[in-house]
Structure 1
Amino acid sequence: MSGSGTRPGFPDIAVLEAQEERLTLRRFTYEDAWALGSALVELARERQAPVAIDIRRGGQQLFHCALAGSSADNDAWIDRKRRVVERHGESSLLVGSRFRAKGTTFEESSRLDPDRYAAHGGSFPIRVEGAGVIGTITVSGLPQVEDHAMVVEALERLLAT
């Protein structure tokens, strides 16, 4: 799972790019946001994961849930990770991995305020065929690779329906 320019335990950049390509949706409705958010809540409850979950389309928050053990800090992380996706159009984990592959970090080299932006895993672009990136889905509360993996798993479930 790890490789070229990433830290051990982190997915390879090519794997992350392939996920984003594969997890492009045909559409994204309010009902899809509810189904996706509900799938994430179900996954988190199964794992007793203390996470907060956020789904947005453009500037509108369509779904938000904070589970037991999460805190307002998770909401702050959601905002910081989400801003990275909105700015770069790629998952927060992929953006951070690209910087690490260059031998630096997002915080050192992006020139963006680390109080407003965090290229840590857990925020993923909602990409729709023919429309591009139209929103974000974000999880915060677990180690960043696990936050990212939970989002990917929920998107895979949505695509399977």
Structure 2
Amino acid sequence: MTESPRLAELQAQEEELTFASFDNHDVWRLGSLIANHAISSGFGVAIDIRRHNIVLFRCVLPGATSDQEEWIRRKSNSVLRFEHSTALLSEQFSALGHNPLGGGWLNHDDYALAGGSFPIRVRGAGVIGAITASGLASDEDHQLVVDGLRDYLKTVGA
């Protein structure tokens, strides 16, 4: 299997977007930064930051629907199980010609591989949570989260 440029890009994002530390103050500042970007862009999205099943930040902007709740839950479940972004997982499984949501391996009701959920990885601790956006196209949800993480990490000097 030849690695695609997109797969390499997604892997590089995960290596780049790692925290030295991450606490509830970071949750609020990161979530607020992404929410403010979404507001200024007119995006009707929901944003969620969680440590496993504990929701630490939630913002639902005008235009988001109740369906975003289910997408967030399913996408964050995928990140927390596999410890990779849903965009990376989708690309990896696609490259292998495998759909883990088909054939009974992963329950479609509990997992989704649409882009928009990203692991919160802390050096020395591993994946401690997930940040998820839902309401845009898959790649746009992913980019909203990645841009927010990148901007936030620049401000904290991580």
TM-score class, shorter: over 0.9
Looking at structure 1, the residues matched to 101 and 111 of structure 2 have their Cα atoms a distance apart, in angstroms, of 9
Identity rate, percent? 46
Instruction: Find the counterpart in structure 1 of residue 32 from structure 2.
Output: 38
2:116 matched to 1:122?
A: yes
Letter in 1 for 2:42: Q
1:99 touches 1:105 (CA, 8 Å); kept in 2?
A: yes
2:150 matched to 1:144?
A: no
Looking at structure 1, the residues matched to 42 and 103 of structure 2 have their Cα atoms a distance apart, in angstroms, of 36
Does the residue aligned with 1:107 lie in a helix, a strand or coil? coil
Runs of 5+ consecutive residues of structure 1 not aligned to the other structure:
6-10
2:16 matched to 1:22?
A: yes
- Give CA-to-partner distance per residue, 1:85-106, whole Å, 9 cap, x none: 0110000111111111112334
Query: TM-score, with normalisation over the residues of structure 1?
Result: 0.90
Instruction: Find the counterpart in structure 2 of residue 102 from structure 1.
Output: 96
Looking at structure 2, the residues matched to 37 and 13 of structure 1 have their Cα atoms a distance apart, in angstroms, of 26
Letter in 1 for 2:130: T
Looking at structure 2, the residues matched to 54 and 20 of structure 1 have their Cα atoms a distance apart, in angstroms, of 18
Looking at structure 1, the residues matched to 50 and 104 of structure 2 have their Cα atoms a distance apart, in angstroms, of 24
Does the residue aligned with 1:64 lie in a helix, a strand or coil? strand
Number of residue equivalences: 154
Looking at structure 2, the residues matched to 110 and 53 of structure 1 have their Cα atoms a distance apart, in angstroms, of 29
2:79 matched to 1:51?
A: no
- Alpha-carbon distance, 1:34 to partner: 0.5
Give 1:64's match in structure 2, choosing from 51, 58, 67.
58
Give 1:81's match in structure 2, choosing from 68, 75, 78.
75
1:91 touches 1:121 (CA, 8 Å); kept in 2?
A: yes
Query: TM-score, with normalisation over the residues of structure 2?
Result: 0.92
Change (3 A) 1:94 1:156: same
